[in-house]
Amino acid sequence: MKRILMVAGMLAALALAAGLAGWTFYAGSRIGDGWAGVSHVLTFVIIGLTAVGALTGGLMWLAFYSARHGYDEPYDVNKPGGGRGPSS
């Protein structure tokens, strides 16, 4: 019973968020010039989203690269070579 209530609550929250998003888009189209007023800013928004995506992808690649090559492993004095990383 608790699980059903949790799922129902999550679905209600999702429906509420979708309704709010729809209302926001509708209200935004009625303010000022509507969506035509956004066209001159859209280029900067796309460039910003692309830059954030590239930065996110680059940092995730660095995190996985360091994990795959053993740079995230703790120093171990009992390891042959003194435990100085992947080259030892």
- Quick: pLDDT tens for 22-65: 999 888 888 878 777 778 888 899 999 999 999 999 999 999 99
Instruction: Calculate the CA dihedral of residues 55, 58, 63, 69 and round it to 10 degrees.
Output: -160
Q: Are 85 and 70 in contact (CB under 8 A)?
A: yes
Within 1-84, residue ranges assigned H as helices are: 2-30, 39-68
pLDDT for position 86: 57
Q: Exposed, middle or buried: residue 52 (CB in 10 Å: 0-12, 13-18, 19+)?
A: exposed
Query: What's the CA gap between 72 and 88, in Å, rounded?
Result: 14
pTM tops 0.75, yes or no: no
Distance of CA 25 to the CA centre of its chain: 22
